[in-house]
């Protein structure tokens, strides 16, 4: 069964308490929390302060996706805020291995996120050191965009790379996931589905999460 990680970026920020209660009641597995700095991506979302709020509102895993430059500067703040998994973008990290070591030494699981144009082959020498790859299936910065079809091929390739070395790295697919394309994404080898608009804009979000989970 896939791990379902609703992205709170698409939630109703005026009613965060009830959005969190809804997710807590559902069979969503993780809270996916999107941090944007207006530099690495052309949008600004929120930082550690709000991650801490989500942390207090749930016992589910807080999966923090940093779309920021110089993530090493903030890793400790996100640990303090309560992140369980911290993902940094390969495109933002010239010293990626150091960033991963830092995240792990702080006691979090480490993820690497890759943009749609970045070849998964670049992960070859870091795969054994990480817990998660966040494969972007849209250009990061905004929710509600359409899935980029060629990223399906990247999921398959990455699955082969992971299985070839019997690693336990999870593949998370992030962006434009819908009930219609989710099966294809899982069949390509994904373990985790991030879903923002598909969950929060659904008439019945709990039923939508259950439907994604059953695929
Ligand atoms: C995009 C974010 C995604 C986004 C997903 O930059 O990383 O997590 O919130 O939203 P949907 O599912 O609406 O594409
Ligand atoms: Zn994300």
The per-residue pLDDT for range 199-208, each reduced to its tens digit, is 999 999 999 9
Res. 10 pLDDT band, cuts 50 70 90: very high
Quick one: average pLDDT of 58-80? 98
> How far, in Å, from the CA of 116 to the mean position of ligand 2?
13
Distance CA 18, CA 11 (A): 10
Distance CA 42, CA 133 (A): 22
The per-residue pLDDT for range 113-163, each reduced to its tens digit, is 999 999 999 999 999 999 999 999 999 999 999 999 999 999 999 999 999
List Cα–Cα distances, 188 to 49, 85, 150, in angstroms. Answer: 36, 23, 12
Express as a percent the part of the chain with pLDDT over 70. 100
Best residue among 41, 135, 138, 176 to mutate for probing ligand 1's pocket (most ligand atoms within 8 Å of CB) is: 138
Residue closest by Cα to atom 6 of ligand 1 = 140
Distance CA 196, CA 214 (A): 18
Contact between 120 and 114 (Cβ < 8 Å): yes
Quick one: average pLDDT of 62-81? 99
Query: What SS3 class is residue 169?
Result: coil
Instruction: Kindly give the number of the ligand 1 atom that is closest to the alpha carbon of 43.
Output: 6
In terms of residues, how long is the chain? Answer: 215
- Read off the tokens for 59: 């016992």
- Exposed (0-12), middle (13-18) or buried (19+): which is 52, by Cβ within 10 Å? middle
Instruction: Find where tokens 């069964």 sit.
Output: 1
Quick one: average pLDDT of 21-36? 98
Best residue among 54, 145, 192 to mutate for probing ligand 1's pocket (most ligand atoms within 8 Å of CB) is: 145
> Closest ligand to 115 CA?
1
Residue closest by Cα to atom 4 of ligand 1 = 143
Residue closest by Cα to atom 1 of ligand 1 = 140
Instruction: Kindly give the number of the ligand 1 atom that is closest to the alpha carbon of 197.
Output: 13
The per-residue pLDDT for range 154-172, each reduced to its tens digit, is 999 999 999 999 999 999 9
Contact between 123 and 112 (Cβ < 8 Å): yes
**Which residues belong to the active site?**
34, 174
pLDDT at 60: 98
Distance CA 155, CA 159 (A): 6
Distance CA 56, CA 99 (A): 26
Give the residues surrounding ligand 1 with Cβ less than 6 Å away: 7, 9-10, 32, 34, 65, 138, 140-145, 174-177, 194-198
Distance CA 18, CA 7 (A): 15
Best residue among 194, 198, 202 to mutate for probing ligand 1's pocket (most ligand atoms within 8 Å of CB) is: 194
DSSP calls for 31-81: EEEEEEBSSSSS-B---HHHHHHHHHH-SSEEEEEEE-SSGGGTHHHHHHH
Strands (E), the chain: 3-6, 30-36, 61-67, 85-89, 109-114, 132-136, 170-174, 192-195
> Closest ligand to 43 CA?
1
């Amino acid at each position: 069964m896939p791990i379902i990680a609703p992205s709170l970026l698409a939630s109703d920020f005026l009613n965060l308490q009830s959005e969190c209660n809804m997710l807590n009641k559902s069979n969503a597995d993780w809270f996916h929390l999107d941090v944007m700095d207006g530099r690495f991506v052309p949008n600004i979302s929120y930082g550690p302060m709000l991650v801490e709020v989500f942390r207090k509102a749930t016992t589910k895993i807080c999966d923090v996706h940093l779309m920021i430059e110089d993530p090493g500067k903030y890793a400790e703040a996100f640990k303090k805020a309560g992140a369980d998994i911290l993902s940094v973008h390969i495109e933002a990290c010239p010293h990626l291995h150091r960033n991963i070591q830092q995240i792990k030494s702080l006691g979090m699981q480490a993820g690497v996120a890759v943009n749609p144009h970045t070849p998964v082959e670049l992960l070859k020498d870091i795969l054994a050191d990480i817990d998660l790859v966040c494969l972007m299936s849209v250009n990061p910065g905004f929710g509600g965009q359409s899935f980029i079809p060629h990223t399906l091929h990247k999921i398959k390739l990455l699955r082969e790379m992971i299985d070839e070395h019997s690693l336990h790295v999870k593949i998370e697919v992030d962006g434009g996931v819908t009930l219609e394309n989710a099966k294809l994404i899982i069949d390509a080898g994904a373990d985790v589905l991030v879903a923002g608009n598909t969950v929060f804009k659904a008439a019945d979000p709990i039923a939508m999460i259950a439907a994604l989970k059953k695929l």
